[in-house]
Amino acid sequence: MMKPTIATNVFKTNLLKQAPQLGLWLGLASAYSAEICAGAGFDWLMIDAEHAPNDIRTILQQLQAIAAHPVHAVVRPPVNEPWLIKQLLDIGVQTLLIPMVDTAEQARNAVRSVRYPPRGIRGVGSALARASGFNRIPNYLSQADDQICLLVQVETTTALKNINDIASVEGVDGVFIGPSDLSASMGHLGNPAHKDVQAAINHAIDAINTMGKAAGILMTDEALCRAYIAQGCRFAAIATDIGLLSRGMQNSLAAFRDNNDETGAQRSISVY
């Protein structure tokens, strides 16, 4: 019987390429909906545990649902905490997006959290871990670090001031810009399209690229997202599962009501 091998982190490999990787944000905290999204053709799916009601078990269930499909799972924990990062790595997460990284030291702490000693502080519990094939993958401990992709999220004015230092940290593979929190930090709550926020985002993308790291962003406005990709963003989330579901329901209902005449009689029905 062939022994299992550690999975190559295709997302990390593709960050070195020029073609952008398009992603979808998952906030429904459901393995069933994650499985549906996994078959849609996206390059990566973001399982969000910062603003969605996810925990270790729901993340694990979504990882298992996604695993059968050629799409990469990224997970955003709620905080930059070594004990939580350790649990996520052990259940098989290979790419992490760490929120609210304001300084290079916070980025270095995240790097230490995803690496085994002596390079880092990740606890050694591979005998119990899904990541190691439940201890069936030979030499997992010596290979694991190389297959971890670490993304850090800059989303405050403080982070922008430190962006060069953050992006220069060894072990950080990509820097992700958070437009919503950034706009709030700049005094434009709920308005990431504000010209000052857009100028800050453009500056951040250029700085990240100059430092030789992959720039990423979440933007559901198609025109803005295309502009970021053209500027050099190598990974971009273009939609959220919640947004697609919400708009789809509203559009379906609006179309149905628009197809009624003044008396309320239905003109046409599509069955699917």
Answer whether the bond into residue 118 is a cis peptide, omega within 30°: yes
Per-residue pLDDT of the chain (272 residues; tens, 9 = 90+): 667 899 999 999 999 887 899 999 999 999 999 999 999 999 999 999 999 999 999 999 999 999 999 999 999 999 999 999 999 999 999 999 999 999 999 999 999 999 999 999 999 999 999 999 999 999 999 999 999 999 999 999 999 999 999 999 999 999 999 999 999 999 999 999 999 999 999 999 999 999 999 999 999 999 999 999 999 999 999 999 999 999 999 999 999 888 765 544 443 333 33
Is there a catalytic annotation at residue 188? Answer: no
Structure tokens at 107: 């980025």
In the chain, where the domains are located: 17-252
Q: Which of 51, 69, 188, 203 is catalytic?
A: 51
Assign domain 17-252 to a CATH class. Answer: alpha beta
- In 3D, which of 192, 194, 184 has the Cα closest to residue 158? 184
DSSP secondary structure, the chain, as one string: -PPP-PPP-HHHHHTTSSSPEEEEEE-S--HHHHHHHHTS--SEEEEESSSSS--HHHHHHHHHHHTTSS-EEEEE-SS--HHHHHHHHHTT--EEEE----SHHHHHHHHHHTS-TTTS-----GGG-TTTTTTTSTTHHHHGGGG-EEEEEE-SHHHHHTHHHHHTSTT--EEEE-HHHHHHHTT-TT-TTSHHHHHHHHHHHHHHHHTT-EEEEE---HHHHHHHHHHTEEEEEEEEHHHHHHHHHHHHHHHHHHTB-TT--B------
